[in-house]
Amino acid sequence: MTKRAYKYRFYPTPEQEQLLARTFGCVRFVYNAVLRYRTDAFQQRQEKIGFTAANAELSRMKKAEDTAFLSEVSSVPLQQCLRHQQTAFKNFFEGRFRYPAFKSKRHRQSAEFTRSAFTYRDGKLFLAKCKAPLAIRWSRDLPSEPTTVTVSKDSAGRYFVSCLCEFDPEALPVTPKMVGIDLGLKDLFVTSDGHRIGNLRHAAKYATRLAKAQRRLSKKKLGSKNRAKARQKVARLHAKISDCRMDRLHKLSRQIVNENQVICVESLKVKNMLRNRSLAKSISDAGWGEFVRQVEYKATWADRQVSAIDPWYPSSKRCSACGYVMPEMPLQIRAWTCPECAAEHNRDVNAAVNIKAAGLAVLALGENVSGMELVSESGSR
């Protein structure tokens, strides 16, 4: 059995909206208060506060007069936020993420409910301290009863519920097709078969409307209702851009997984590439990291194979016909002729063919391509 989250949009009643607002506020308050408590304890007394002590601090806060409002909402989301905070500290101490940050009321709000804090029966979901079921727009049926339910509100004011369920993934029929994928900016990606998938540049499409909305926001008085309305308009545009990008990436990743048994990609360091100020906006708009992530987990469910090659493998500079590696290959060169065998190459298609060959070599030999004699020198793509 595999766990999978099913996300739906719902429309709360005024009473549910007030309850959720209090729940989000209490979750945010507890997270920030305990984070400050743990930070001060270490900085002032060199004392490390674990989950047990943090949970005891939550119990003390609920009994105190000035924070008695914490008892007005379900206790489960408050305890769950401390578990998430403990995971954040673990990731920090193991060097995977930065130090946990304080939560803001202007960003996405969420609350997690376990089985003791919600009821699911006859296709209806009831949250703790909520008499009426959530008005969820069920786009698909749940495969099983949820084990965890996460209710969230994004910056655009939309409400979503994510149900974590167990399901049995179905393997797709075996196909002999294999593909190499070269990610880019002009085209979102080019396959080793020569197919080009254009980059729709969703952020650029809405850039004019977004700039206009942001200018109007900057002129509103701080703390006014008009500023809150203007902020909502900006948030809705950002949500529109994100939704369009995610919809396209989901469709393309599903198509790639359905059609190919082996998928070869580059293991790009997208966070490092975003340091390039000239290309950071375009790279973020393309969504390379999200696309590869979707391909990987969908391939796992479908019993497909994904082979990631070394990011420094010279896929663009290497001739896919004879293996000659060009000393230099500036980005403005989109087509070139191999000086060794006179083969003519399109830069992107040639890179995709090399990525496919290197990915298959990784699967066959179980090694990283950069450590093999297949590559005599390392260079930029």
Higher pLDDT, 375 or 27: 27
Reply yes or no on whether 154 is catalytic. no
The pLDDT, as a whole number, for residue 367 is 57
Instruction: Give CA–CA dist 230/379, Å, rounded.
Output: 47
> Which pLDDT belongs to residue 378?
36
Which of 57, 182, 285, 310 does the annotation list as catalytic?
182
The edge-to-edge listing of strands for the beta sheet with 178-183 is 196-198, 187-191, 178-183, 262-266, 305-309
Identity of the residue numbered 61: M
Is residue 40 among the annotated active site residues?
A: no
* Marked catalytic residue, from 57, 112, 285, 348: 348
| pLDDT for the residue numbered 269 | 80
HEC string for 86-153: HHHHHHHHCCCCCCCCCCCCCCCEEEEEEHHHEEEECCEEEECCCCCCCCECCCCCCCCCCCEEEEEE
Q: How far apart are CA 235 and CA 306, in angstroms?
A: 35
pLDDT digits (tens, 9 = 90+) for 128-153: 999 899 999 999 999 999 999 999 99
* Predicted local confidence at residue 380, as pLDDT: 37
Confidence label for 376 from pLDDT (cuts 50, 70 and 90) = very low
Asked if pLDDT for residue 255 goes beyond 50, the answer is yes
Annotated active-site residue in 112, 266, 285, 310: 266
Q: State mean pLDDT over 294-313.
A: 92
Instruction: Identify the sign of the CA torsion 102, 104, 109, 111.
Output: positive
Q: Flag whether pLDDT at 212 surpasses 80.
A: yes
Q: Which residue has the higher pLDDT, 297 or 272?
A: 297
- Residue 261 φ then ψ, to 5°: -85, -35
Strands 178-183 and 262-266: parallel
Number of neighbours of residue 185 by Cβ within 10 angstroms: 14
Render pLDDT for 258-296 as a digit per residue (tens, 0 to 9): 999 999 998 888 777 888 888 888 888 999 999 999 999
According to the model, what pLDDT value does residue 374 have? 44
The fraction of the chain above a pLDDT of 90, given in percent, is: 75
285 annotated active-site: no
CA 296 to chain centre: 13
The structure tokens 């369920």 sit at 165
Over the stretch 87-114, which tens digit does the pLDDT of each residue have? 999 999 999 899 999 999 989 999 999 9
Maximum distance among all Cα pairs of the chain, rounded to whole angstroms? 82
pLDDT(47) > 50 = yes
Per-residue pLDDT, 280: 87
Of 247-251, 281-285, 302-306, 366-370, least confident by mean pLDDT is: 366-370
Residues 6+ apart with CB under 8 A from 136: 8, 9, 10, 125, 161
Phi, psi of 371 (to 5 degrees): -95, 5
Which tens digits make up the pLDDT trace of 28-46? 999 999 999 999 999 998 8
**Do 113 and 77 meet the contact criterion of CB atoms below 8 Å apart?**
yes
In this prediction, residue 365 has a pLDDT band, given cuts at 50, 70 and 90, of confident
What angle do helix axes 225-259 and 207-218 make, rounded to 10 degrees? Answer: 160
Residues 163, 113: Cα–Cα separation, whole Å: 10
pLDDT for residue 366: 67
Burial of 188 (0-12, 13-18, 19+ CB in 10 A): buried
Structure token digits, residue 246: 């995610």
User: What is the pTM assigned to this prediction?
Assistant: 0.86
- Mean pLDDT across the stretch 118-125? 93
CB 308 within 8 A of CB 360: no
What are the angstrom distances between the C-alpha of 242 and each of 53, 234, 278, 286? 39, 13, 21, 11
Mean pLDDT of the chain: 91
pLDDT single digits (tens) 162-182? 999 999 999 999 999 999 999
Q: What amino acid occupies position 174?
A: V
**Of 6, 118, 25, which is closest to residue 67 (Cα–Cα)?**
25
Greater confidence (278 vs 218) lies with 218
Residue 226's CB: how many other CB atoms inside 10 A? 12
Band (pLDDT 50/70/90 cuts) for residue 368 is low
Query: What does the alpha-carbon distance between residue 302 and residue 170 come to, in Å, rounded to a whole number?
Result: 6
Q: What tokens appear for 184 in the block?
A: 């880019």
So what's the pLDDT on residue 381?
36
The whole-number average pLDDT for the span 219-244 is: 95
pLDDT category of residue 371 using cuts at 50, 70 and 90: very low
pLDDT bucket at 314, cuts 50 / 70 / 90: confident
